[in-house]
Amino acid sequence: MNLNIDAIKDQTYDAIVIGSGITGGWAAKELTEKGLRVLMLEKGHQLEHVTGYESATKDPWETKYNGRLTEEQKKTHPKLARDYPYNEMTETYWMKDTDSLYKEEKRFDWYRPNIVGGKSIMWGRQSYRMSDIDFEANAKEGIAVDWPVRYKDVAPWYSYVEKFAGISGEKLNLPQLPDSEFLPPMEMYCVEKEVRKRIEKNFPGRNMTIGRVANLSKAGEAQLGVGRAPCQYRNKCSLGCPYGAYFSTQSCTLPPAAKTGRLTLRPDSVVTEIKYDENKQKATGVHVVDAVTLQGKEYFANIIFVCGSALGSTALMLNSTSSRFPNGLGNDSGELGHNLMDHHFRIGAAGEWEGDLDKYYIGRRANGIYVPRYRNIGNDKRDYVRGFGYQGGGSRQGWQRNVAEMSFGADYKEELTKPGPWTMGLGGFGETLPYHENYMYLDKNEKDKWGMPLVVFNAELKENEKKMRVDMLNDAKEMLESAGVKNVRAYDRGSYLGMAIHEMGTARMGHDPKTSVVNSNNQLHAVKNVFVTDGAFMTSASCVNPSLTYMAMTARAADFAVKEMKRKNL
């Protein structure tokens, strides 16, 4: 790539993009293609596309611990080791616990990447549009504040980013889950097809479809043009894809941005403050600490896109204080850091499927099934508000099913060469409401090695989510049993905020500067040349995976920003 990674003499740019993840990549692409000279600042280290994905091309026997963590790694990474994202294969993609210092008044799981591309390398790629049922919910129910946008405002931008990113899926024409610009859907397994028929017959109004995923089932001109190829069905997506088959910053948005010759990428750059000029009433640039040398430096720009993930961006703005903004940049409302949301999950049911033992599947499909929200829609009324969807799927057990057995002999070994029975599972993802009392703040008495105050979390699931989880568990069990799945076992493994890695809401969008942080164009109400387009701007969470909405809103904001620059309004 034609990327100028070294620091350059000229420290002034048209735009600065903070963060290189899903939204940072989109901001860089859109702004450079519209003619702006852009500096992208990323706290993580460089990760080259293809050659940087060292684990992605290894065979299982080439890893030391088969992907698992050692007891020593668990001890030295007590927070990262709480759940699945951190493992032997992805260890270098995440910040170490000793660097990612934060405090918990209530448990919060903060997974912070340490690479160019951010979480776009490890994300689950499920890509769904929000609907007006989502955008109107706060206003109709008198919860938090109203979204200042509606589906019609975002729909053209959903289409715009989908055509470039490449989303495979199936049209359903459901009001609660608008259809996308789809590539051909991936095929369901035989068990999933049969379970779908039975669920939709036994529960009118409930649908099951293949997941809508940012993996290329087919590469079109837009994808081939940046060097991408169709999905190889390896299911090693969290390791980085050498084929560029799923959407990531490296495979999708950096190449066209670099092609313009107007992008400068600077990794190992921890942005600690956004500088504000009280005379000009605008931000003028940023202060950066080199992640390796700890040397400080400043860069300047006409506009700044804050794309450091919801929590990182909010921490940065809270730390950017001045006499005009003593409580954080743009924080006139006092809402910066509040209304912290994430999805709650780790609940559902699974069981065994009898028959179809003469059938199998080809490859390792990097996708599952999806059951869209059906609760509190139409005439369905529950003792809680909002709803949930299910992700999951069917599979056949392999030889591992008998690892713990004490059998031996030729017959036993022969049996292990054959696949086991089919299984089928549904796991719920529920919406969390935007509570003002769920928040994060900075402890300015304790700082990390780059001089940033430590983030403190005080957030939890509340009564509405707990009531919802009863349905999430019981409905999954009921649907599977009605579909003929045997030995169905319901489970609730507990869910803490942060675990779903869908952090949202800490710099929410709204009509009124007195109750929100950014306006309908993702601008800080009080600082018009600063745009926040990652999950921080979310006014409510919906129950669908949020990344597609981040992409659409980033492209929309970039278009607005450039037009405003040309009008000399920024």
The pLDDT assigned to 406 comes to 44
The pLDDT assigned to 273 comes to 98
On whether the CB atoms of residues 236 and 56 are closer than 8 A, the answer is: yes
pLDDT per 10-residue tile (average), the chain, 570 residues: 55 97 98 98 97 90 84 86 87 92 97 97 97 98 98 98 98 98 97 98 98 96 94 94 97 98 98 97 98 97 98 98 98 98 98 92 94 97 98 83 50 66 97 98 97 98 98 98 98 97 98 98 98 98 98 98 96
The pLDDT assigned to 47 comes to 97
d(CA 34, CA 41) in angstroms, rounded, equals 19
On whether the CB atoms of residues 320 and 526 are closer than 8 A, the answer is: no
Please, how many CA atoms are within 13 Å of residue 468, restricted to the half-sphere of its CB?
A: 28
Q: What is the dihedral of CA 477, 123, 304, 33, to 10 degrees?
A: -120
Q: Where are the alpha helices (DSSP H) in 416-485?
A: 463-482
**Average pLDDT over all residues of the chain:** 94
Burial classification of residue 384, based on how many CB atoms lie within 10 Å of its CB (0-12 exposed, 13-18 middle, 19 or more buried): buried
Amino acid identity of residue 365, one-letter, is R
Sole residue written with tokens 């059951």: 371
d(CA 242, CA 228) in angstroms, rounded, equals 9
Sole residue written with tokens 């993840």: 21
On whether the CB atoms of residues 271 and 18 are closer than 8 A, the answer is: yes
Q: How far apart are the first and last CA of the chain?
A: 31
In total, the chain counts a number of residues equal to 570
The pLDDT assigned to 67 comes to 81
SS (H, E, C) 538-559: CCCCCCCCCHHHHHHHHHHHHH
Sole residue written with tokens 């989303």: 167
Dihedral sign (CA 469, 472, 478, 481): negative
Q: Where are the alpha helices (DSSP H) in 210-267?
A: 221-224, 254-259
The pLDDT assigned to 417 comes to 66
Q: Where are the alpha helices (DSSP H) in 203-290?
A: 221-224, 254-259
* β-sheet bridge partners, residue 298: 287
Sole residue written with tokens 């006139």: 332
Q: Tens of pLDDT along 384-435? A: 999 999 999 999 977 555 544 444 556 655 655 678 899 999 999 999 999 9
DSSP-assigned letters across all residues of 66-108: TTPPPHHHHHH-TTGGGSTTSSTTTGGGB--TTTS-EEESS--
d(CA 228, CA 43) in angstroms, rounded, equals 26
Q: Which helix (H) or strand (E) holds 41?
A: strand 38-41
- Exposure string (b/e) for 55-75, b if CB count within 10 Å is 16 or more? bbeeeeeeeeeeeebeeebee
On whether the CB atoms of residues 442 and 454 are closer than 8 A, the answer is: yes
